Amino acid sequence: MPRPFVRYVGVDLGGARGKTTAVARLSRRADGTVQVDDVSTRCHGEPWRDDTLADQLAAVGADAVVAIDAPLTAPACARCV
């Protein structure tokens, strides 16, 4: 079953302060191949933060699918408390 998606956004959440969060944007061409449009660890020169990431994801549109990779464990400093 063909999917209507022509754009893909991948998010790798990297921690509480966004220092290692990365976002990749890909698009499907008319011939069916996929190209990488952008890979970034920063938004407007700053690390990805919750608000900027939420704004970007809210604007992707209905022709896009978003995949998020999130850590399943708390960082070591949070577990020690």
- Find the mean pLDDT for residues 6-17: 86
Which among 29, 24, 2, 4 has a CA at the least distance from the CA of 13?
A: 24
pLDDT of residue 14: 82
User: Domain ranges in the chain?
Assistant: 7-80
C-alpha span between 42 and 1 (Å, rounded): 35
Whole-structure pTM value: 0.77
Interval 17-70: pLDDT, tens: 657 899 999 999 999 899 999 999 999 899 888 899 999 999 998 999 999 997
Burial of 67 (0-12, 13-18, 19+ CB in 10 A): exposed
C-alpha span between 70 and 68 (Å, rounded): 6
Q: Which residue has the higher pLDDT, 2 or 18?
A: 2
Which among 1, 9, 8, 4 has a CA at the least distance from the CA of 53?
A: 9
In the DSSP assignment, the letter for residue 16 is T
